[in-house]
Amino acid sequence: MKDIADELGVSVSTVSLVLNDRDRGRVRRDVADRVRARASELGYVPNLLARGLKTRRSHTIGLVADRVATVPFAGHMLAGAQSAAWEEGYLLMVIDTGGNRELDLPAAQSLLQRDIEALVVAADFHREVVVPPVPRSVPAVVLDGWPSDPGHADAVVPDEVSGAHAATAHLIAAGHRRIGLVNVSGETYVASRLRQRGYETAHADAGLEVDPGLTFTVPDPSTHAAIPVAFDVLRSARRPSAIFCFSDQIALAFAQVAAVLGVRIPDDLSLVGFDNQQFVADAMMPGLTTVQLPHFEMGEWAARRAIARIKGTETGPAAVERIVCGLVERDSVAPPA
């Protein structure tokens, strides 16, 4: 400020008023324009840490995330959170723990030491999350999960049940009555139970009974794990006319095996996935009808909720928001042969 003041022949207080946007009615417009122009040429930016000492506001949200670089959907969640924060005048500061949950606490502490005003904890998949301890003055939001202490933080998750219902209802509307479900076994993924509930509810709403013999499981949601099951199902004399898969990667396994066995999609077999995973669903031939996980919208909601808590415009009890998973129609569904 002293350099600019000396160069332009004005006082340091004048430069300070202009750079703090308090010059209106106090500094001549032509002088203010010259100050701003010279500050821009010099690459001046305000020191928000110093300003925050006075205002006690950093306008920064901290986010602790699992596997930002390796999980396909993490980028969409972060993009949504960053977009919403930016629109509200906030900066998103991210630490990736690489899937090591022992780092959640030190990561959160590192962010708190940098005066974040709220903390978002993003899970690598829909699950229960232990929120690191934060001061009561710092709002916390769980992204793609729910807090182990229900009253400790807000949360946002995909509405898995409605997504699975939409996928199954789409197959029923196409005329299918023998619809297989390929799910993931074990207790790791809460989504497997929720998607099965949506599958069963869609049958009940259509007045149909679920055939237990048409539910199959794979050990994990990968293409490799699903290939042996796909061979068993598609070689069966009681092969379903349509299959709803827990994930797009599982659906890809069924499409690959169908090609080997000469089963045509969608002529002989209709196929629906879940995730709308980039480079899978839209890269298959034919394109895969699937369910969109709303990761961008979830990220937006998490950031806006945190900011609403900061500003005091949201003062109610902690809540879990469920965001609808929409159906993305492509060319893998047709009436049964």
Domain ranges of the chain: 2-46, 59-158+295-323, 161-293
Say if residue 30 is exposed, middle or buried (CB neighbours under 10 Å; 0-12, 13-18, 19+): exposed
**pLDDT tens digits, one per residue of 101-138:** 899 999 999 999 999 999 999 998 999 999 999 998 99
In CATH, the number for domain 59-158+295-323 is 3.40.50.2300
| Entry pTM | 0.85
Res 271: pLDDT: 98
Res 52: pLDDT: 55
Res 21: pLDDT: 86
In CATH, the number for domain 161-293 is 3.40.50.2300
CA distances from 120 to 29, 79, 130, 156, 274 (A): 42, 13, 12, 11, 26
**Ranges of residues in the chain whose predicted pLDDT is under 50:** none
Q: Which of 83, 11, 18, 66 lies closest to 46 in space, CA to CA? A: 18
Res 337: pLDDT: 87
Res 8: pLDDT: 94
Residues in CB range of 143: below 8 A, 6 or more apart: 63, 77, 81, 120, 121, 122, 123, 155, 156, 298, 299, 302
CA distances from 293 to 25, 44, 201 (A): 51, 42, 19
CATH topology match: 59-158+295-323 vs 161-293: yes
CA distances from 303 to 155, 253, 299, 306, 323 (A): 11, 36, 6, 5, 14
Helix, strand or coil for residue 327? Answer: strand
